[in-house]
Amino acid sequence: MKPRQRKVIGGKFSAWHAALLAVAAVGQGSGVAVAQVPVPPVAPGVSTSPPNPTQARDVVTEDELKKLAQQGNTLSAMLAKSTTQAPVAARPSMESSLYRKSVILYDGEKHTVVPIGSVLQLPPGYRNRVVEKPVGVFTFWPAFLERNAAWLGAWEVPLRMAEGDAEAAKKVLTATAKDPRVLVAVYRGGPITILEPVPETSSKTKSGSGAPELNQETKR
């Protein structure tokens, strides 16, 4: 009697499994993973490492700080010059008609101009306040009057007096006779020239004795 052969259950599956193990063994020996997932290509120059939160920022050099400071100082100077610089009164030229047709008043530091014929009275003690040429810094009449109120005054006169009315002039001169200051005739706040009174047609005028002249040339 022949010996009975044993039937291997699942023989086909065992052979396939053995082949798979052999392929796996070859892959491990060559260093290639069997189930390796393909990685997409990376563009040149792009870092694949994750960002480091503790990485320091770029440091500003000392030269760059100096340049920034210089730019800030220049801007500050420009702003200060354009916003804080006070306007200065421009001094008129000596050749201009302003000086040639004006009386120059001087306080020892600054000077101003008023029209010829606008000085109502000039006490002897203040004759040195009138000068022939401009001296010192020029300033406008309102500021000059305010800083010299102790010896200088403005007297409001009617327009009729400025036009040469003798009666109006007489009233004003009577009112200012006791004022010790240098007085300048003004109309609505501005210095104004007082014209000579029109001579009266009377016997006195014909005989040569007319009304007293106003605004005679001041001796300097």
For 175-201, write each residue's pLDDT tens digit: 999 999 999 999 999 999 999 876 665
Q: What does the angle CA 210 – CA 216 – CA 219 come to, to the nearest 5 degrees?
A: 140
Residue 51 lies in a domain: no
Residue 106 lies in a domain: yes
pLDDT tens by residue, 141-173: 999 999 999 999 999 999 999 999 999 999 999
Question: DSSP for 173-193?
Answer: HHHHTT--SEEEEEETTEE-P
Mean pLDDT confidence for 71-75: 60
Residue 133 lies in a domain: yes
| Measured distance CA(193)–CA(187) in Å, rounded | 9
Domain count, the chain: 1
Domain of 107 in residue numbering reads as: 97-197
Helices in 122-165 by DSSP H: which ranges? Answer: 141-147, 159-162
> Minimum mean pLDDT among 30-34, 86-90, 92-96, 101-105: which range?
30-34
Residue 109 lies in a domain: yes
Per DSSP, the three-state class of 182 is strand
Residue 164 lies in a domain: yes
